[in-house]
Amino acid sequence: MLTPLLVLCMSFSFAQEKRISGVVTDQTGLPLPGVAVIVEGTTTGTQTDFDGNYTLNARVGQILRYSYLGQKTVTRTVGTANTMNVQMEEDAQALQEVVVQGYRNSTKEKSSIASVTINADESIQNRPNASFVQTLSGQVAGLNITTSTGQPGAASNVNLRGVTSINGNTQPLYIIDGVPVDEDNFRSLNPQDIASVSVLKDAGATAIYGNRGANGVIVIKTRQGNFNQGLQINYTGIMSFSTLQDNDYNLMDSQEQLTLEKLRGAGRGNTLTDAEIAAAPTFDWADYFFDTGLTQNHTLTLQSGSERATQFTSLGYFDQEGILQDSGLKRFSIRNNTTGKSENEKFNYGTNITINYSTSNEPNNIGSGAINRNYILGAYQSVPYITADDYTNGADLLSPLLFSNTPLFLIDRLRTFTRKEEEVKIIGSFQAGYQITDNLSANVTMSADYQNEIETEAEGPTSFNALLFGGAENPTSGYQDQVTVRQFSYNQVTSLNYNNTWGKHTLDAGVYSEYFKAHLRTFGFRENGLDPKTFFPGDGAGFIPTFLDPATGAVLFVDEPFATIRNAGLFSVFSQADYDYDGRYGITGTIRRDASYRFAGSNRYANFYSVAARWNIDNESWMENSIFDVLKLRASYGTSGNQRISGNTYFSAPDLTRNFFATGSGYGNNNSIFLSQIANTTLRWETVTQGNVGIDFELFNNRLRGSVDGYIKETSDLFQSTPVSAINAVTQLDANTGTLTNTGVDLTLNYNILNGGDDGVNLVLNFVGNYNKQELGDLPSEDGELIGTGRNGGKLFEYFTVRYAGVNPANGNLLFLDADGNVTENPDADTDRVWLDKNIYPDFNGSFGFNLDYKGFFLQTQFNYTLGVDRFDNDLAGFQNPDNIGQFRSSRDLLRAWTPDNRITDIPAYDAFNRAAVGSTRFLRNADFLRLRFASIGYNFPSRFLDGTGLTRLRVFGNAENLFTITEWRGFDAEALSNTSRLYPTPKTLSVGFELGF
Amino acid sequence: MKNYRKIFYLFGLVTMLVACNDAIDIDQPGRLDADAAFESVADLQSGLFGVYANYDLSGEIAFSSIFTDELSIGFDNGGQGLADYGFVLNAGSVAPAVFWTGGYAAINSANRLIEAAESITPEAGEEAQYNDILGQSYFLRAWAHWFLMEYFTTDYADDNALGVIALDRVPSIDEQLLRNTNGEVYALILADLDRAESLISTDTSDPTFANRDAVTALRARIAAYRENYTLAATLSQQLLDKYGLANRAQYEAMFLDTDNTEVIFKLERTNNDPYDGQGATGSPAAGGWAGARFAFVDATLAGSPYFEMGRSLFNLYDPADIRYDVNVAPTSLIDPDYTTNNDPATDILVIQKYPGSEGQPLMNDLKVFRSSEMLLIRAEAYADAGSINGATNSAAALLKQLNDARFGTDTALPVFANQTEAFAAILDARRIELSFEGHRYKDLKRLGERANQGVLKDPIDCAFNGACSLPATDFRFTLPLPIVEFNANPGLREQQNPGY
């Protein structure tokens, strides 16, 4: 038997054929499934499996070609080694190919779901934002990310395809390396560790997350080492400078302000002569309270791999000064990811652990009208004729107590108030899989998210605020709060997976169980009474014990301790099956049964399902010579849920199904028993039912790529406030009633205008867009209208108020429209309100930009746009309020106020009788904007320049965030998703950095 | 390799069998289920402290003083209370919403305690305490109904006019009840007061809890408002005889919470109780220290007064009157030529009625019934009966008696030309005596027409907004039913008070 074969071989060639195996990874080290490996000039070939492994027979000297859409094709000559690992490099002109599908991965071709994966190298790396979420803004169609505060590391508001809940959680579920994590807290995580971010959008993708998936799912993978890779060391250093964005309020200088005060007989201006007014200094309080914020960001990574193990280690240090005084974030982070496998490769495992420590200074009372607490109010509204030199100490400000001293109260607070959050955050996970037979594998993922936050807040005993509220009876006032919040969650997914290919059929199926448990422990105290001789924020040396003042009978310095315990849990079983026929047709079905601790007393179990199907039209034989390289039609339908129907945490509203009384301080400070909760016995989760139809396409040799998705997403059993008669001691109870429908279109387009290759100019244009329309239904009120929520058929949180109609030329009074549209000076605050068809959420939003590179030079831009946002400009209302004259700063707009000689104007007479009569649309403004959200310019030194330097990589770059904004909005930040005035605006940031590889 | 397999089977088993219930059957610690809330008389006593905690006068003090003519805008006003100060009142305003919801929250809590008490049998020796608790609960239920009537009925004296919803039980969530007639509401209130009188202990030494004298005082006030002056005369005389009037020192001490000579009933306010705080400034939502209705920090010039005393009220105070010392802070800047100087900065009248107690500035007990109010009710009864002049048994005699006590000297006996003058004098006396205690709005509503008076501010206090006067017949002396109630109970829209 052997001899003839051997002879046959020998007769053609003396070369020995051998078995070659290896792993193909992408440039971030993630295994690439589905890579075609072909022996050039033959028909011999194979594809890598899900873990990127391949095996084939080839002879020494033959050339292997590795090709994969979206990656540059790699060729290697077979040498003496039997293992050939290949790291592919991304082809910047093409889309990513690995598609994360929740609990498993797929290739783009075989994916039936609506999802977008962003490669971190392209657009997350090296951005100066403390939280990567802020960086994602504008990058994914349908993902609307707004950051309403410039506080470093603060949480952003993230809505995928519109808002799906009124009272409950509206943020997507975040999964980092298999760990579901707290979505409001990313400040402690180093964005530089991220390898990719996948956004799962339709029901086909999210149903498998059951009652956690209603708002979409964001799956984050961190970097990994590669098998058989030498040690590779990388350092990135970035330095950034942040400054306040501009405003257009046209604020008065001291001369104008004082003259106006004199005219109005109010404030300091009323007491000064014209000469004194002319001599008054103009002090820039915005410049005092806001400052250029300096950020430094250092990341050192080490990655390596042996035959059976890989490791990735990263050390990060990040120090960001907020532009607002006394705000900032410092972070130290360490991450270690390892993977390994057994000799027969049947067992594999991975661990990811990251330990982070951050400390952040976060002033509170931002947005409030507290003139002695909100620094932003001081920056914007302080009168310019008071200067920082006027400040002496807190005691001197007590008398006379003048509102116009606002900036001095706040200077005092800057010097005597501390608010600091220290946080330890540890996220760890362990995954393991065992191949029981060729087709059957068992897998487990165990993961934990731990955070311990210690907040220290202290108002010093010599501060103005302490003296003000302590008074003469209580001279050593002041307080110190120390609060510890510990949160631990554990998640475990256990699964059995089957996959098989026969003929043209491929089946991939799994059954899973998931267990989730979370624990919250908080405790803390407020110490009242601090001795200024020994007080130091955070230390207890200055604490004064409680005592009874014999003179007044007062009990002074009563301390307030508190503690909370909450537990939460979920348990689910689910199953998913994916079938493919010939790479042309595919269908995926998911079913999940979920139990939540929250509904234990009413509807404990919920079922969710989805079906998704695809047709790869380009793989049909009749498409052979079409202009389409890729043309895929997708459709999905299914449900997912939201069990966090009230409040934002896993622990809020834990047992609404029961009637409760509580004990606590009652009349005369006697311990008392009182009603604390009225039961809702029909409580259930909110269900989101979503249908999605999409097309993925690539044309003209992949130069034009894109996808378009249409969706209808209906939330039913909306948990919302339902009015009840006041005879029940409350006027509203939350109940599952009503619907909210989001209908929209997502569009992503990329076009390679210029394809110059390595030595030429490459230019890619990008466009991302989403149109979303909201519609409320079945609202719980007689007439289908709920003030504050909206009306049936209308937008969520649609504004309902009296229409402002300008200034009456006859007398300078404000004019309004009554409900019937007639002009009136005396509108009825109740019955003349109308629905305005406007709200704070955008109709259109997204981004466009381009990526340009030429021989190592690169330039990248991203313009974000938002259309259809209307906000109340309450800052403007303050600057135009004549009643503030003498106390606060005014806009020059007021100089146009109505007088008998200036009758045609947009500013009412100072004394218009109805200037504070009703809330109206007077300050409702369009907040649409176009913003250069991000621009980056840099140079990658070609490797030939690095020969002999010991470096393998050198890259220098400069970045800009929020460089300019085109908008009608007059305030400091058009982006904020809020109608609150005096907010901390997001900054404009310029950065420079470099990256070294060894 | 076998070991790996075992590990997986183990994980699978553990997850499926053990994990499930521990994740989804969770009792949060510290929860008190309704059926375990009240199990003994001691629990009922704790419940009573919870019911009392719903009763507060700070909202009335804020609303009545801002809306009528007791205040002017202070130099440290940052926009507080401008709508109420300009007589802007509609179904969306704060006062109707918080008074309506606050009143029914109080009724609901009293009804819950009364129902809980039904299922508890007191042990031997506890009967008296049990009865006292129940009696106070009935009093509190009656008082909350009366509070709602004070603001939402159009005419106190007409039993056929629309009153409020009378409720003697814990309602279910979906109930939509309409207004009862005044007669029906009065019947419930008076029946509750009868029950209260029979159950409450005879000890009347502690004015911080509802005692039998408080029951009598409430009956007297109701009778006067209903213009049932025969009854009002009997009841008020009874209390006036028992309590008498405070002397000047006692009067001053009363507002420092250190003397109770003429206090029949007051709500205690103390350190760390639910009202120990600033509350909502410039708003009838209030809910904090009484004095924080006028100033942010304390009752002095340096205490950031955002409201000052109205000039028209100040002009009624005689510096020789102890009430001048009580109500006007010594740090005030008083400009005798304010009308010509026309400069608010030279004339700052700081309100001192609530200077603070127990070391806490601005925090004082809230006086509900004082014997001077009883005297003035008695005077009203004389005036109504036509006994306006004379050294004894007349309205004039009683007003002199009050002035004698407050001035500490023998004052002149007033003489009235007619009944209108007598009522005007009584209304002025109430304005002086009961200022900043939440009475002025209701007094104008019921007595303004008979006294030919309305809201009248000094021109300097209303120059900026033109809201200087409001006749007592204006529809705004009855509050509108609030929008917040219509949302749940649309049938009530048909029963909205006139003018809104």
Cβ of B360 under 8 Å from any chain A Cβ? yes
Report d(CA A769, CA A748) in Å as an integer. Answer: 7
Q: Using an 8 Å Cβ cutoff, are B396 and B388 in contact?
A: yes
In a shared domain, residues B249 and B376: yes
Confidence class for position A949, pLDDT limits 50, 70, 90 = confident
According to the model, what pLDDT value does residue A99 have?
Answer: 67
Cβ of B50 under 8 Å from any chain A Cβ? yes
**pLDDT over 70 at A186, yes or no:** yes
Confidence class for position A130, pLDDT limits 50, 70, 90 = confident
Report d(CA A546, CA A704) in Å as an integer. Answer: 73
Q: Which residue has the higher pLDDT, A251 or B23?
A: A251
Question: Are A434 and B8 a contacting pair at CB < 8 A?
Answer: yes
Q: Which of B53, B304, B490 sits opposite A674 (nearest CB)?
A: B53
The pLDDT > 90 percentage for chain A reads 56
**Final residue belonging to a domain, choices B361, B381, B411:** B361
- Which helix (H) or strand (E) element contains residue A845? strand A844-854
In a shared domain, residues B402 and B481: yes
Confidence class for position A169, pLDDT limits 50, 70, 90 = confident
User: Is beta strand A790-791 parallel, antiparallel or unpaired with respect to A719-723?
Assistant: unpaired
Single-letter residue type at B86? G
Question: Are B91 and A830 a contacting pair at CB < 8 A?
Answer: yes
Q: Using an 8 Å Cβ cutoff, are A529 and A478 in contact?
A: yes
Place of tokens 């009528």: B68
In a shared domain, residues B308 and B442: no
Enter the tokens of residue B91: 């179904």
pLDDT in tens, A693-742: 999 999 988 899 999 999 999 999 988 888 889 999 998 888 888 899 99
In a shared domain, residues B56 and B190: yes
In a shared domain, residues B377 and B434: yes
Cβ of B15 under 8 Å from any chain A Cβ? yes
Question: Are A883 and B28 a contacting pair at CB < 8 A?
Answer: no
Q: Which of A1-15, A144-158, B30-44, B145-159 has the highest mean pLDDT?
A: B145-159
Place of tokens 């008190």: B32
Phi and psi for A409 in degrees, rounded to 5? -60, -40
Supply the range of the domain harboring residue B178: 41-273+364-492
**Mean pLDDT across B180-202:** 96
Could you give the maximum distance between any two Cα atoms of chain B, in Å? 113
pLDDT in tens, A752-794: 998 887 788 999 999 999 999 999 998 887 778 888 889 999 9
According to the model, what pLDDT value does residue A73 have?
Answer: 78
The pLDDT > 90 percentage for chain B reads 81
In a shared domain, residues B357 and B381: no
**Final residue belonging to a domain, choices B361, B380, B408:** B361
Residue B265 domain flag: yes
Place of tokens 């950065």: A991
**Mean pLDDT across B485-491:** 88
How many separate domains does chain B show?
2
According to the model, what pLDDT value does residue A489 have?
Answer: 93
Q: Which residue has the higher pLDDT, A112 or A565?
A: A565
**pLDDT over 80 at A2, yes or no:** no
Q: Which of B24, B104, B270 sits opposite A729 (nearest CB)?
A: B104
In a shared domain, residues B392 and B454: yes
Q: Using an 8 Å Cβ cutoff, are A112 and A612 in contact?
A: yes
Confidence class for position B13, pLDDT limits 50, 70, 90 = low
- Which helix (H) or strand (E) element contains residue A996? strand A988-997
**Final residue belonging to a domain, choices B361, B377, B403:** B361
Confidence class for position A4, pLDDT limits 50, 70, 90 = very low
Q: Which residue has the higher pLDDT, A583 or B247?
A: B247
Enter the tokens of residue A285: 């309080």
Q: Residue A412's beta-bridge partner residues?
A: none
Q: Which of B31, B297, B467 sits opposite A660 (nearest CB)?
A: B31
Cβ of A883 under 8 Å from any chain B Cβ? yes
Place of tokens 């400078």: A241
**pLDDT over 70 at B4, yes or no:** no
According to the model, what pLDDT value does residue B255 have?
Answer: 97
According to the model, what pLDDT value does residue B3 have?
Answer: 61
Residue B341 domain flag: yes
Q: How many A-B residue pairs are in contact by the CB < 8 A criterion?
A: 271
Q: Which of A401, A674, A676 sits opposite B76 (nearest CB)?
A: A401
In a shared domain, residues B380 and B357: no
Range 426-445 of B in CB contact (< 8 A) with A: none
- Which helix (H) or strand (E) element contains residue A937? strand A929-940
CATH number, position B171: 1.25.40.390
Which parts of B178-312 are beta strand (E)? 263-267, 307-309
**Mean pLDDT across A185-212:** 86
Residues of B with CB below 8 A from A884's CB? 79
Range 236-275 of B in CB contact (< 8 A) with A: 267-268, 270-274
Residues of B with CB below 8 A from A661's CB? 32-34, 37
Instruction: Report the residue of B2, B7, B24 to disrupt the A interface, i.e. the one with the largest count of A CBs within 10 Å.
Output: B24
**pLDDT over 90 at A101, yes or no:** no
Cβ of B337 under 8 Å from any chain A Cβ? no
Q: Which residue has the higher pLDDT, B105 or A680?
A: B105
pLDDT in tens, A446-468: 999 999 999 999 999 999 999 88
Q: Which of B208, B267, B483 sits opposite A830 (nearest CB)?
A: B483
Which parts of A249-343 are beta strand (E)? 293-305, 309-321, 328-341
**pLDDT over 80 at A50, yes or no:** no
According to the model, what pLDDT value does residue A93 have?
Answer: 45
Chain length of chain B: 500
pLDDT in tens, A299-357: 999 999 998 999 999 999 999 999 999 999 999 999 999 999 998 888 999 999 999 99
Cβ of A661 under 8 Å from any chain B Cβ? yes
Cβ of A729 under 8 Å from any chain B Cβ? yes
Question: Are B49 and A369 a contacting pair at CB < 8 A?
Answer: no
According to the model, what pLDDT value does residue A119 have?
Answer: 83
The burial class, CB within 10 Å (0-12 / 13-18 / 19+), for A3 is: exposed
Residue B21 domain flag: no
**pLDDT over 60 at A182, yes or no:** yes
In a shared domain, residues B401 and B466: yes
The burial class, CB within 10 Å (0-12 / 13-18 / 19+), for B382 is: buried
Which parts of A129-276 are beta strand (E)? 143-146, 157-160, 173-176, 179-181, 194-200, 217-222, 229-243
Could you give the maximum distance between any two Cα atoms of chain A, in Å? 118
> How far separated are the first and last CA of chain B, in Å rounded?
83
Report d(CA A914, CA A37) in Å as an integer. Answer: 79
Domains identified in chain A and CATH numbers:
16-87 (2.60.40.10)
Confidence class for position B8, pLDDT limits 50, 70, 90 = low
**pLDDT over 60 at A7, yes or no:** no
Q: Which of B5, B90, B208 sits opposite A668 (nearest CB)?
A: B208
Report d(CA A758, CA A753) in Å as an integer. Answer: 15
Question: Are A663 and B32 a contacting pair at CB < 8 A?
Answer: yes
Q: Residue B143's beta-bridge partner residues?
A: none
Closest CA to A67 of A42, A92, A45: A45
Report d(CA A876, CA A248) in Å as an integer. Answer: 10
Question: Are A369 and B360 a contacting pair at CB < 8 A?
Answer: no
User: Is beta strand B455-456 parallel, antiparallel or unpaired with respect to B307-309?
Assistant: unpaired
Q: Using an 8 Å Cβ cutoff, are B60 and B66 in contact?
A: no
**pLDDT over 60 at B412, yes or no:** yes
- Among left, alpha and beta (phi > 0; psi -120 to 50; other), residue A557 is left
What's the helix, strand, coil split of chain A in %, to 5? 15, 50, 40
**Mean pLDDT across A610-637:** 91
Quote ipTM for the complex.
0.90
Residues of B with CB below 8 A from A371's CB? 78
**pLDDT over 80 at B12, yes or no:** no
Cβ of B358 under 8 Å from any chain A Cβ? yes
Report d(CA A593, CA A99) in Å as an integer. Answer: 25
pLDDT in tens, A856-909: 899 999 999 999 999 999 999 999 999 899 889 999 999 999 999 999 999 999
Nearest CA-CA distance, residue A950 and chain B, Å: 44
Enter the tokens of residue A405: 């001293």
SS (H, E, C) A499-516: EEEECCEEEEEEEEEEEE
Long-range CB contacts for residues B2-7, cutoff 8 Å, separation at least 24: B4/A342, B4/A346, B4/A347, B4/A432, B4/A434, B5/A434, B5/A436, B5/A442, B7/A432
Q: Using an 8 Å Cβ cutoff, are A746 and A160 in contact?
A: no
Residues of A with CB below 8 A from B274's CB? 665-667
Candidate from A405-409, A671-675, A994-998 with smallest mean pLDDT: A994-998
**pLDDT over 80 at A376, yes or no:** yes
Cβ of B88 under 8 Å from any chain A Cβ? yes
Nearest CA-CA distance, residue B53 and chain A, Å: 5
**Mean pLDDT across B359-378:** 95
Report d(CA A238, CA A995) in Å as an integer. Answer: 9
Range 472-491 of B in CB contact (< 8 A) with A: 483-485, 487-490
DSSP A68-80: -TTB--EEEE--S
Candidate from A92-96, A383-387, A742-746, B196-200 with smallest mean pLDDT: A92-96
In a shared domain, residues B447 and B326: no
Confidence class for position A420, pLDDT limits 50, 70, 90 = very high
Cβ of A492 under 8 Å from any chain B Cβ? yes
Residues of A with CB below 8 A from B359's CB? 473-474, 549, 552-556
Cβ of A879 under 8 Å from any chain B Cβ? no
Cβ of A546 under 8 Å from any chain B Cβ? no
Confidence class for position B256, pLDDT limits 50, 70, 90 = very high
**What single DSSP character describes residue B177?**
P
Candidate from A778-792, A957-971, B44-58, B348-362 with smallest mean pLDDT: A778-792
In a shared domain, residues B338 and B383: no
How many angstroms from the chain centroid is the CA of residue A382? 33
Report d(CA A131, CA A136) in Å as an integer. Answer: 10
Q: How many CB atoms lie within 10 A of CB A884?
A: 22
According to the model, what pLDDT value does residue A652 have?
Answer: 86
Enter the tokens of residue B281: 């400034």
Residue B278 domain flag: no
Report d(CA A463, CA A470) in Å as an integer. Answer: 10
The burial class, CB within 10 Å (0-12 / 13-18 / 19+), for A472 is: exposed
pLDDT in tens, A653-700: 888 888 899 999 999 999 999 999 888 888 889 999 999 999 999 998
According to the model, what pLDDT value does residue A471 have?
Answer: 65
**pLDDT over 80 at B10, yes or no:** no
In a shared domain, residues B95 and B213: yes
Question: Which residue blocks in A21-164 are alpha helix, DSSP H?
Answer: 120-123, 132-136
DSSP A638-687: EEEEE---SSSSTTSSTTTTS-EEEEEE-GGG-EEEEEEE---TT---EE
Question: Are A661 and B20 a contacting pair at CB < 8 A?
Answer: no
Residues of A with CB below 8 A from B30's CB? 565
Residue B3 domain flag: no
Closest CA to B278 of B269, B289, B262: B289
Question: Are A829 and B485 a contacting pair at CB < 8 A?
Answer: no
Report d(CA A387, CA A405) in Å as an integer. Answer: 10
Q: Which of A399, A401, A667 sits opposite B268 (nearest CB)?
A: A667
Question: Are B359 and A666 a contacting pair at CB < 8 A?
Answer: no
Residue B334 domain flag: yes
According to the model, what pLDDT value does residue A386 have?
Answer: 94
Report d(CA A263, CA A897) in Å as an integer. Answer: 13
Q: Which of A566, A724, A887 sits opposite B173 (nearest CB)?
A: A724
Residue B283 domain flag: no
Residues of A with CB below 8 A from B23's CB? 515-517, 569-571, 595, 597
Cβ of A733 under 8 Å from any chain B Cβ? yes
Q: Using an 8 Å Cβ cutoff, are A566 and A559 in contact?
A: no
**pLDDT over 60 at A94, yes or no:** no
Q: Which of A604-613, B42-51, B197-206 has the highest mean pLDDT?
A: B42-51
Q: Tell me the pLDDT of chain A averaged across its residues.
A: 88
**pLDDT over 80 at A78, yes or no:** yes
Confidence class for position A13, pLDDT limits 50, 70, 90 = very low
Q: Which of B48, B53, B302 sits opposite A401 (nearest CB)?
A: B302
Chain length of chain A: 998
Closest CA to A96 of A26, A191, A22: A26
Question: Are B171 and A728 a contacting pair at CB < 8 A?
Answer: yes
Answer yes or no: pTM beyond 0.90: no
Cβ of A670 under 8 Å from any chain B Cβ? yes
Confidence class for position B15, pLDDT limits 50, 70, 90 = low
**Mean pLDDT across A10-27:** 68
- CA geometry: angle at A805 spanning A804 and A809, to 5°? 130
Question: Are B108 and A727 a contacting pair at CB < 8 A?
Answer: yes
Confidence class for position A70, pLDDT limits 50, 70, 90 = low
Q: Which residue has the higher pLDDT, A121 or B277?
A: B277
Rg of chain B in Å (alpha carbons): 26
Range 909-938 of A in CB contact (< 8 A) with B: 911, 913, 916-918
pLDDT in tens, B153-177: 999 999 999 999 999 999 988 889 9
**pLDDT over 90 at B464, yes or no:** no
Instruction: Report the residue of A725, A785, A791, A816 to disrupt the B interface, i.e. the one with the largest count of B CBs within 10 Å.
Output: A725
Question: Are B52 and A668 a contacting pair at CB < 8 A?
Answer: yes
How many angstroms from the chain centroid is the CA of residue A94? 26
Residue B371 domain flag: yes
**pLDDT over 70 at A166, yes or no:** yes
According to the model, what pLDDT value does residue A253 have?
Answer: 95
Confidence class for position A60, pLDDT limits 50, 70, 90 = confident
Cβ of B341 under 8 Å from any chain A Cβ? no
Q: How many CB atoms lie within 10 A of CB B330?
A: 9
DSSP A5-61: HHHHHHHH--PPEEEEEEEEE-TTS-B-TT-EEEETTSS-EEE--TTSEEEEEEETT
Q: Is the dihedral of CA B377, B379, B384, B385 positive or negative?
A: positive
pLDDT in tens, A202-250: 988 888 888 888 899 999 999 988 888 889 999 999 999 999 998 999 9
